[in-house]
């Protein structure tokens, strides 16, 4: 029996509940990086130096800074640069390691955080290259539909969901398999027959986050400090969603690769309410 979208969500939520503590290293790193970005943005917004720079830019004049102010500006610039480089290097490996950990848990193989990170070796540039290609594909419709039109807005939403569904398999393919090059054609092939369900899942995830963001935005987006609190809450929710999203992506990968390459093999029954076999 094939896993339905409802079963995938059910198993993913159960995995999240049973393995929350084990996934903390991954969620903590995601939260740490995103929160540092929010803190840099907050301190930049309240810094007199940055406000003077922005005012000078708005007026079309070059602001005159003292040596101390130039040092402060240099610190902000250096911190932003360092954080950007670290994020570029570390975050793809964390995302892939989270997927690898989840797959090993489903397969009954215990794996530590360090072991999962080590299994991402040699996959970094494949991840970056494929993500860039997905981003280019995602931007195609945006470049074509420049006019504001309700029909185009709906079409853009559907197109974005289709690209999101593609991304749901692109990252697992890079993380789980050792083949070289672009994995997008294989992801498209594997998605055959599951596109509507995958698009619905993307709509549900993005829609839920959009509603939460809109509600919290009305409550928090009033002052610089409240904006920081809003960013903190959203960063925390994003980090906590990583185990759930990783489990769902892994289940979709397992479902589609099994259907494609092991059609003659007996299909396992999806876990019910009894205890599952993962650790």
Nearest-5° Cα angle at 199, 193 to 204:
140
pLDDT value of position 272: 45
pTM of this prediction?
0.79
The rounded Cα 198 to chain-centroid distance in angstroms is 16
**144-184 pLDDT, tens digit each:** 555 566 777 777 778 888 888 888 889 999 999 987 889 99
Contact 116, 100 (CB under 8 A): yes
Non-local CB neighbours of 56 within 8 Å, separated by 6+ positions: 62, 63
Q: How far apart are CA 129 and CA 137, in angstroms?
A: 13
Here the tokens at position 224 are 């610089």
Compute the distance between CA of residue 140 and CA of residue 134 in angstroms, rounded to an integer: 10
Structure tokens at 209: 């986050």
* pLDDT tens digits, 110-139: 889 999 999 999 999 999 999 999 988 888
Residue 79's pLDDT is 83
* Res 278: pLDDT: 47
Q: In terms of DSSP H, where are the helices of the chain?
A: 5-18, 24-46, 48-59, 67-106, 113-118, 124-144, 150-176, 184-191, 195-220, 224-261
């Amino acid at each position: 029996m094939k896993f339905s979208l409802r079963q995938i969500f059910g198993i993913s939520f159960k995995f999240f509940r049973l393995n929350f503590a084990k996934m903390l290293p991954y969620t903590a790193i995601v939260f740490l990086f995103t929160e540092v970005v929010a803190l840099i943005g907050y301190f930049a917004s309240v810094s007199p130096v940055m406000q003077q720079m922005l005012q000078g830019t708005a007026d079309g004049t070059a602001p005159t800074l003292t040596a101390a102010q130039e040092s402060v500006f240099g610190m902000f610039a250096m911190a932003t640069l360092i954080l950007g480089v670290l994020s570029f290097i570390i975050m793809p490996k964390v995302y892939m390691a989270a997927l690898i950990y989840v797959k090993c848990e489903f397969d009954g193989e215990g794996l530590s955080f360090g072991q999962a990170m080590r299994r991402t070796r040699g996959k970094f540039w494949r991840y970056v290259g494929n993500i860039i290609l997905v981003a280019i594909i995602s931007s195609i419709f945006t470049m074509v539909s420049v006019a504001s039109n309700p029909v185009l807005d709906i079409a853009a939403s559907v197109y974005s969901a289709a690209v999101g569904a593609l991304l749901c398999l692109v990252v697992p393919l890079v993380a789980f398999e050792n083949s070289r090059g672009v994995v997008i054609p294989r992801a498209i092939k594997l998605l055959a027959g599951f596109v509507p369900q995958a698009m619905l899942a993307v709509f549900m995830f993005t829609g839920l986050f959009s509603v939460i963001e809109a509600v919290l935005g009305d409550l928090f987006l009033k002052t610089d400090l409240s904006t920081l609190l809003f960013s903190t809450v959203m960063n925390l929710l994003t980090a906590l969603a990583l185990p759930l999203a990783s489990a769902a992506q892994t289940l979709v990968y397992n479902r589609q690769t099994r259907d494609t390459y092991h059609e003659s093999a007996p299909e396992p029954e999806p876990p019910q309410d009894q205890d599952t076999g993962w650790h």
